[in-house]
Every structure is written in C-alpha cells, then in structure tokens.
Amino acid sequence: MKTGTLKQILLITDGCSNTGEDPIAMSALAQEQGITVNVIGVMEQDVIDDQGMKEIEGIAMSGGGVSQIVYSQQLSQTVQMVTRKAMTQTLQGVVNKELQQILGGSDTIEDLPPEKRGEVMEVVDELGETVGLEVLILVDTSASMKHKLPTVKEALLDLSLSLNARTGENRFSVFVFPGKKKDVEKLLDWTPKLDSLTSIFAKLTTGGITPTGPAIREALTYFQKKRSLRSLISRDDEQFFEESV
C-alpha cells in the first residue's frame, strides 16, 4: 500500500487570531492539498476564552486534524499524542479508501468483522511506524506566549526524540508568528532532529499580534516550494539520465 509521506501542520497557540486571513479557511485549503492541520491550545492558570476555543476546534476540524487544550505542564505528552493521533487518523482514512476500492462499497474499518478489523488496525499501526512524516510546526509568539516558550521548546525536543524512535523518516520545520520583521518567520528549515531549537528559542522575542491565518498560508507555500523544488530536481535527473543513455 502506497501512502507516500504524511504532511502535518502543528499549530501551538494560546489565543485568537486577530489579523490577516481567516485561519479556518486557510486550514480547509491545507486539507484540500493533503496536509493535516493539528492545533494545541496552551493555558496557564487562566482559561482560553470561548472565542479562542471555537477557533482552535474550527481550525483542526476544517484541517482534518486533532485539537487539544492543555495546561503548559502537560504540553510535552500532548504534542506527541496529537501528532500520533493525527497520523493514525490520516492512515485510517487511506486504509478506508483502499477497502472501499477492494470491496466495491462504502465499507470502512468499523464495518469489518472484529477479527478482520484487528488485522487491519495492525497494518495501520505498522504504517504509523514506517511511513514518512513531515511536520511543519507553527509557534505563536504573541505577547501572552512569552512565559510558555521554554515549555514549548522542551515539548518539541521531546516530540523529535519520540518520533525518531520510529523506523520511518521524519522531517521537522519550525515557523514563528509574528516574526521580527514580518507576520511569519522561518526559524528552522527541514531537519530530522530539533536539537538546534535550544539555542534559537532563547533569542526569540514576543509581540502583540496573532496572525494565525497568514501563518497557515505561509506553511502551505513552504510545502509547495519544497514539492516544486523536488519535481525540478527529479526532472533534471531524468534529463541527465536520458542524455547519458
């Protein structure tokens, strides 16, 4: 079964967007392009207001992903849980499509007899360990996130360690919003490990606005750039191969 590489955007925020495009619409666009959007809302002693809660749930729902509201102390295990849960959810979707093609109906994993369902879920679990995974992490650095950033850094390092225990290839990239000079800024290019975050996070400055919509739009553009560069390289390789033969 070919699944290619699973692509995820992981958005970590503590409030509502207040500038730029509608993040829920941007998230729906991501799902259309085969990219899942997961959202973690971070609280301290306070609570996230209703509007923030609705936005977090709406972004994840329209992006086909998972949302979770947590206190910053539980952030580390939540980041891992949300990423894994979204992988399983996406893979179940892939398997369901395959089943419908094989069985010629609208059957899903849930419709299978218990013993068959168990076998199919074993395949899903195995794919979860072996499939390629790309996670573009969007970190809210608006003013209210200032004291939560050290916890975010530790959570991302733990995520990197946890996922690198898989046999599948992992690639991470980190963007922050707002950036120093523009709404969204790339902090870290694609890498299999997030160790270098330790030095970078200490230098981050926090600002007042929360451009969540523009951040998701920038993440989509970044995924597209990588794809077009890959296709350009593979076209060049094909041309070189044809000329060499």
Q: What is the pLDDT of residue 46?
A: 65
Task: Find, among 109, 113, 112, 115, the residue nearest to 96 by Cα.
Answer: 109
**Summary count for the chain: helices (H), strands (E):** 7, 6
How many Å apart are CA 200 and CA 192, to the nearest integer? 16
The count of residues in the chain is 245
For 56-70, 115-129, 140-154, which range has the lowest pLDDT when averaged over its residues? Answer: 115-129
Distance of CA 5 to the CA centre of its chain: 12
For 178-187, 212-221, 227-236, which range has the lowest pLDDT when averaged over its residues? Answer: 227-236
The pLDDT > 70 percentage for the chain reads: 88
Is residue 120 packed enough to be buried (19+ CB in 10 Å), middle (13-18) or exposed (0-12)?
Answer: middle
Q: What is the pLDDT of residue 242?
A: 42
Q: What is the pLDDT of residue 244?
A: 40
**132 forms bridges with which residues in the sheet?**
5
For residues 100 and 63, the model is more confident at 63
Q: Are residues 215 and 19 in contact, defined by beta-carbon separation less than 8 angstroms?
A: no
Mean pLDDT, residues 85-100: 85
pLDDT tens by residue, 17-46? 888 899 999 999 999 999 999 999 998 766
How many Å apart are CA 220 and CA 214, to the nearest integer? 10
How far, CA to CA in Å, does 39 sit from each of 118, 156, 195?
Answer: 29, 14, 22
